[in-house]
Structure 1
Amino acid sequence: MTEWYFVWVEGLRGPVPQKWSSDGLYGQLGRQDVIVRFALTDAEAHLALDELARRHPIPRGK
């Protein structure tokens, strides 16, 4: 079963939201540009990035 994650990474112009699947997670865990990663529920996995960004904002102080 594929698990989904909502991830904030450092971009050239600030934090960038991304959605990763467990199928493509290999090699991603060691990335230095990851700010925070949220595990998604089955219902959340189908949402667009802008909705996920509202539900899972970047933690304060980052």
Structure 2
Amino acid sequence: MTQWYFVWIEGPRGPVPQKWSSEGLWGQVGRQDVIVRFALTEREAELSLDELARLHPVPEE
């Protein structure tokens, strides 16, 4: 089964939300621009990036 993750990465203008699957994660693990990664439930994996950003806001520094 594919596991999905909601990820905040450092973008040129601030944090950027992304959704990654476990199938593509192997190439992303060593990235230095990842702020935080959240494992998603099956229900959450169906949500849009906007909805996920509200559920899992970028952490305050």
* TM-score (norm: length of structure 1): 0.96
Q: Which runs of 4+ in 1 moved over 4 A?
A: none
In structure 1, what is the Cα distance between the partners aligned to 2:4 and 2:44?
9
What secondary structure does 1:50 align onto?
helix
CA-atom RMSD, angstroms?
A: 0.5
Q: Which residues in structure 2 correspond to 1:6-45 (within 5 Å)?
A: 6-45=6-45
Partner Cα distance (1:40, 1:33) in 2: 20
Q: Which residue of 1 aligns with 2:50?
A: 50
The runs of 5 or more residues in structure 2 that have no matched partner are: none
- Alpha-carbon distance between aligned partners in 1 of 2:28 and 2:4, rounded to the nearest angstrom: 13
- 1:5-53: CA deviations, max 9, x gaps? 0000000110000000001101201000000000000000000000000
**Residue ranges of structure 1 left out of the alignment (5+ in a row):** none
Q: How many residues align?
A: 61
Q: Report deviation, 1:60.
A: 1.5
Partner of 1:3: 3
Percent identity, aligned pairs only, is 77
Q: Secondary structure at the match of 2:42?
A: coil
Structure 2 letter corresponding to 1:25: L
